[in-house]
Amino acid sequence: MSIPDFNLLLTLDAVLSEGSVVRAAQRLHLSPSAMSRALARLRTTTGDPLLVRAGRGLVPTPRAIELRDQVSRLVHEAESVLRPASAVDLSSLRRSFTLRVREGFVENVGAALIADAARAAPGVRLSFIQKSDKDSTGLRDGRIDLDTGVVGKETGPEVRTRALFRDRFVGVVRPGHPLARGKVTAARYAGGQHIAVSRRGQAHSQLDTALAALALERSVATVTGSFASALALAAQSDLIATVPERQTGVLRAGLHTFVLPFALPELTVSLLWHPRFDADPAHRWLRALVLARFP
């Protein structure tokens, strides 16, 4: 089966709406000879002369009259499909978005983000799920609209990213802890009992590498899978938690925070999404909404 030439629909629409081969040619920016060839192909394809001579003018055949409205509608719909997406009407938007976020995101900006969305688009619902790994499958299959985190080797190469903020690690202890008083040196920090944070249960991290460069070693009393649980343990014991400062802002309320007395690389926390949503107007609005919360 041969593939139909859909360009003929444009020619047919011009001929039927103009009722003149000359005006149709002008509308399509075709030369008279090119227009004649296109009309000949149309007549062969439809099996109908479409326009016939009547005195000095042309009149449509019954078949042409029958096709006129249908062809006009098809051309209009095709133009709508190929036209760039128009701006979304937020007031009438009905859509649910799922954001996969690291701990601290909901506590720090979740309520404000929901309020921002509700003011502009009351029919939009935001859902938050916890980030347990860096796998990009959820973005690829559409289960997740937006992801947050540090871009790593596990991040799919096609995933779009935009930096949200930079963060640094800080030490956290309960009020009254010895490190809450006086100058915190690398030796004092390393001499305490520590909480390691690792989703994989690993006690060693870049902290230990940095301390080793200073000929120091910390004692890890326990390993937990989240910064929130590390802070909860620190609040109720003499254990030391080391967590990202900006990410855990609300979670550290009531605890004593101190700057680490040695250098650690900063983190860049990013917003991630799949290219399938790159040009979607509603998705672009949501991304802008999130980015505005992290100036």
pTM: 0.70
Domains in the chain: ranges and CATH: 7-82 (1.10.10.10), 95-153+277-292 (3.40.190.10), 169-265 (3.40.190.10)
3-state secondary structure of 173: strand
**CB neighbour burial string for 188-198, b if at least 16 within 10 angstroms, e if fewer:** ebbbbebbbbe
Contacts 24+ apart (CB under 8 A), 37-41: 38/8, 38/11, 39/11, 39/15, 41/5, 41/8
CA–CA gap between residue 154 and residue 134 (Å, rounded)? 6
> Which among 156, 96, 95 is positioned nearest to 129, based on CA atoms?
96
Q: Which residues contact 115 (CB under 8 A, 6 or more apart)?
A: none
Q: What is the pLDDT along the chain (295 residues), one digit of tens a residue?
A: 467 778 888 888 888 888 888 888 888 888 888 888 888 888 888 888 888 887 777 788 888 888 888 888 887 777 766 666 567 889 999 999 999 998 899 999 999 999 999 999 999 999 999 887 777 888 888 899 999 988 877 787 889 999 999 999 999 999 999 999 999 999 999 999 999 999 888 999 999 999 999 999 999 999 999 999 999 999 999 999 999 999 999 999 999 999 999 999 999 999 999 998 988 999 999 999 999 999 8
Our measurement of the distance from residue 47's CA atom to the centroid of its chain's CA atoms, rounded to an integer in Å, reads 50
Q: How many residues does the chain have?
A: 295
